[in-house]
Structure 1
Amino acid sequence: MYFRHANDIWRNFPELSAGILHAEGIHRDVSIDARLAGFEAAAKARLAASSEGEFPEIQAWRRAFSRMGLKPTQYRSASEALLRRFRKEGSLPRIHPLIDLCNAASLAFAIPIAVFDLSRVAGHLEVRYASGNEIYTTFSGETEYPEPQEVIFADEEGRAHARRWTNRQSGFSAVGSKTTAVLIVAEALHSSAETDVSRLVHELAGAMGASWAVTPRSAVLDQSAPRFDI
């Protein structure tokens, strides 16, 4: 089992940097309030100085969405959507400790973070262009089919675990009460992406280790090292 970006993704987005964490032993029975507070405070400080649309991390994803033929104000990266909600409401809903932690880290770094329950992923997971035949399950249980050439996260059986790259994950592999093994993917395209993604991975791994007493395996992928073996 492995994770990778397809070669044509790297060719079309050579500025991409992807941070990966793999952990087992995840459960709901932890308290992460202090760690959430630290990440959220960092996000509040940035938002006090400027809106999320001015962040270079968000602007880079908007440019990428435009290059993919998507309207950036209609389809937003997950990090931009979270920051908008956080700015307007002052908090995010609590879902699962790991999701809450990753959402808070995404706020602090303005970088989209996807979290997958590995028991729901068949074989390898690849970020690639869709054929249009892949199956995507929404959080409400409805079935959709990605558009041909849409960037998706797809497994070996042709199931799409995310649509429009960093826009929307699938409910099929969402973390839940029975989740124990996870794959976390953080992706950035801005000029300091490699440095920021590396720092995000380091801080998130530390927070996970302190909260769940696990030692996540991690890596930062680029064109020269594009694959992570799970």
Structure 2
Amino acid sequence: MVFSHSDDIWTQCPELVAGVLFARGINTRASVSAQLARFSATAEARMNGGIESALPEVQAWRRVFAKMGLQPTKYRCASEALLRRLRKENALPRLHPLVDLCNAISAAFAIPIAVFDLSKVTGDMQVRHATGSESYHNSSGQLEHPEPQEVIYTDQGGNAHARRWTNRQSSLSAVSAGTHSVMIVAEALHESAHEDIRTLLAALMQEVALAWPASASKARLLTRAAPRFDYTPAD
């Protein structure tokens, strides 16, 4: 499959840097407790008793959300929502070893990370503006349609796998007990995004290999100059 951002997205957000990792051999048997504790501690140390909205990574996403006409306190990027929960509850949600790991890394870097079950994705996936005809399944499994021009993740089957860019993922491609192959995407727009996404990708590769030694993965950094990742399982 091919993962990309549309030309319009790159035009509107030329500072965007994305990291994409494809992995297969995922299961629920991995133990990630030590990793979660380590990355959660990093996240808490970064906030140092402050609030998540003060972090430059979060501020950059707040500016983009404001440009999209979204209220920053009503619609938060995924990393801000995780950090807010960590600050208020001193814990992150536990759902699936891979999702839990990605959430902890997301909090540590303050960068949104999305994880998609590839068996639920039809053809290529692109981040682009919605037409309004795409189908999105909310957390309850109910069908919604994104607003026209809303930034979404969408595949060739007309499925919207995330709404409001990095705000909310679809339940359709959520990782579950039967998930084997995944695509993981991290996106940032702050000043040091290029360096930070590169570091985050390296951490993801290392931690996934540690938790799932039999897994196989391939990662790539995407920028406006190199905006596409064409992946096949044989890569």
TM-score category, normalised to shorter length: over 0.9
| Distance of 2:30 and 2:184 partners within structure 1 | 18
**Uncovered stretches (5+) of structure 2, i.e. residues with no partner:** none
| Distance of 1:21 and 1:49 partners within structure 2 | 32
| Distance of 1:136 and 1:177 partners within structure 2 | 21
C-alpha deviations, 1:95-134, integer Å up to 9, x for none?
A: 0000000000000000000000000000000000000000
What residue number does 2:225 align with? 224
**Residue type of the alignment partner of 1:31:** S
| Distance of 1:119 and 1:200 partners within structure 2 | 25
| Distance of 2:61 and 2:49 partners within structure 1 | 20
Shift of 1:49: 4.6
| Distance of 2:66 and 2:16 partners within structure 1 | 16
**Residue type of the alignment partner of 2:229:** F
What residue number does 1:206 align with? 206
TM-score of the superposition, structure 2-length normalised?
0.97
Q: CA RMSD in A?
A: 0.7
Q: Give the count of matched residue pairs.
A: 230
| Distance of 2:44 and 2:70 partners within structure 1 | 28
C-alpha deviations, 1:119-172, integer Å up to 9, x for none?
A: 000000000000000000012111110000000000001110000000000000
Matched, 1:32 2:35: no
C-alpha deviations, 1:37-58, integer Å up to 9, x for none?
A: 1111101101225211100000
> Percent same amino acid among aligned pairs?
57
Partner SS for 2:76: coil
Partner SS for 1:114: strand
TM-score of the superposition, structure 1-length normalised?
0.99
Q: Which runs of 4+ in 1 moved over 4 A?
A: none
C-alpha deviations, 1:169-193, integer Å up to 9, x for none?
A: 0000000000000000000000000
| Distance of 2:216 and 2:51 partners within structure 1 | 35
| Distance of 1:33 and 1:198 partners within structure 2 | 24
